[in-house]
Amino acid sequence: MLKSLSVKAKMLLLSSLMVVGIIILAVILSLGMHSLVQIGQLAALSLQAETAMRNLRINEKDFLERRDLKYQTVFNDNISLLTQQLSQLNAELQSENIQIKQIPQLLTLIEQYHTAFNEIVALRQTIGLSHKDGLYGNLRSSVQEAEKMLGNFQNDALLKDMLMLRRNEKDFMLRRDVSYFETFNNNLSVFYQNLQQSYLSDFEQRQISDLMMKYSDDFTQLVNAEQQFGFNEDLGRMGEMRSIVYQIQDLLHTTSEQITDEVLAHERSIFITAIISIVLILAILVLLSRFISRSVVNPINLLAEVMKRAQQNKDLTERADIEGKDEIVQMAHVFNQMMGVFSNLIQEVFDSSRQLNVAAEELTVITGQTSRGVMSQ
């Protein structure tokens, strides 16, 4: 195919191949940089997810310490943000053909964490966000009514028993130990015994008994709710939520490590692919350029060799046998034609010289014959 092209066309073809090669290299490098940017975003999203999880823990602790519902709102907003970040991270990982199996499990656990926290908030509202509402408020109201009535009767034994009950109640509130609830019930039995032995009338005893029963029921409900809530972080609903949190943290840490490893492996793969592509393209360009340049240089060398042999051997029969349609082939054809003209011209000179020699010989014979004729006369 190259034999049918002119030298100019071959040079244009070589230049075009160089330009195409440079464009391909630029595209490969651009795609590699784009992929690296995407990989970097994956690592950033992973870090953002860990940061969002830390914010959730802060929101959780703020609510438990301050018992303010605004922290529940912030928690729910951050849960939505974390879910969105993990979903985006999962989608982008799949687009990069990176499989992290823990992310769907993480999303499930985060939803469980969300549900568990809101259940704890609801339970805390039931117990009471302060000592004036919820089960705390009910207990406070029933205690005040019982103490007011006992104060009216001025019974020292019952007031002493009531003081012990309040102490058991406060010990439970401070230490969150169910043993104080048991002590409370024992002391309540003592209270009822002393109430029956008191000088109070049956009607007054029934009034006090009803109030104390309400006090006991309210305290029992509070204790049961607190037990359900969890006396410490490892028990009740708090323990269940803490277990979910630990699973999320472990999975987030594992996921972050896997993403980091995948990012490094992907970066190495992109780098190796880019290097191999660059080397291959450069090798192809070098081979093509040599092939095209040889299609130009070889005919020139062949023509020069033919000219050199013709000059050294003084041989006008030398011909340049070059195929093609470019300028060098045309120059070879002109050279062949010129050598043919020179060869014909010399042949004509040789023929003319030979004819002159024959004519001279004939003239010499005629002259000789004439001289002999004259002498014979």
- SS3 of 240-251: the string is HHHHHHHHHHHH
Same domain membership, residue 124 and residue 47: yes
Residue 306 lies in a domain: no
pLDDT in the model for residue 40: 74
pLDDT in the model for residue 183: 95
Same domain membership, residue 83 and residue 48: yes
Same domain membership, residue 22 and residue 162: no
pLDDT in the model for residue 115: 96
Q: Which tokens in the block code for residue 283? A: 């090798």
* Cα distance between residue 103 and residue 94, in whole Å: 11
Question: Do residues 192 and 213 touch, judged by C-beta distance below 8 A?
Answer: no
**Rounded average pLDDT per 10-residue block, the chain, 377 residues:** 64 78 80 74 82 93 93 95 89 78 89 95 94 91 90 87 94 92 94 90 91 95 95 92 93 85 79 84 82 73 76 72 69 75 79 80 77 68
Instruction: Give the other-Cβ count within 10 Å of 75's Cβ.
Output: 23
Same domain membership, residue 112 and residue 244: yes
Axis-axis angle for helices 202-229, 102-127 (nearest 10): 160
DSSP labels, 205-272: HHHHHHHHHHHHHHHHHHHHHHHHH-SSTTSHHHHHHHHHHHHHHHHHHHHHHHHHHHHHHHHHHHHH
pLDDT in the model for residue 324: 66
pLDDT in the model for residue 4: 62
Same domain membership, residue 62 and residue 32: yes
324: left (phi over 0), alpha (psi -120 to 50) or beta: left
Residue 289 lies in a domain: no
Question: Do residues 35 and 266 touch, judged by C-beta distance below 8 A?
Answer: yes
Same domain membership, residue 192 and residue 154: yes
Residue 310 lies in a domain: no
Residue 290 lies in a domain: no
Domain limit, last residue, from 213, 229, 245:
229
Residue 77 lies in a domain: yes
Same domain membership, residue 245 and residue 122: yes
Instruction: Give the other-Cβ count within 10 Å of 262's Cβ.
Output: 19
Residue 188 amino acid letter: L
Same domain membership, residue 258 and residue 117: yes
Same domain membership, residue 209 and residue 187: yes
Domain limit, last residue, from 229, 257, 289:
229
Sequence-separated contacts (24+) of 119-125 with Cβ below 8 Å:
119/237, 120/229, 120/237, 120/238, 120/241, 121/63, 121/69, 121/72, 123/225, 123/228, 123/229, 123/237, 124/63, 124/64, 124/67, 124/229, 125/69
Residue 372 lies in a domain: no
- Specify burial of residue 58 (Cβ count, 10 A radius: 0-12, 13-18, 19+): middle
CATH number, domain with residue 158: 1.20.1440
Question: Do residues 160 and 190 touch, judged by C-beta distance below 8 A?
Answer: no
Residue in 180, 160, 26, 46 with CA at minimum distance from that of residue 102: 46
Same domain membership, residue 253 and residue 106: yes
Q: Which tokens in the block code for residue 24? A: 């391909």
Residue 68 lies in a domain: yes
0.85 cut: is pTM over it?
A: no
* Cα distance between residue 277 and residue 281, in whole Å: 6
Same domain membership, residue 252 and residue 120: yes
Q: How many domains does the chain have?
A: 3
DSSP labels, 314-332: T-TT------SSSHHHHHH
Same domain membership, residue 242 and residue 123: yes
pLDDT in the model for residue 215: 94
The whole domain housing 89 covers 2-128+236-281
Residue 118 lies in a domain: yes
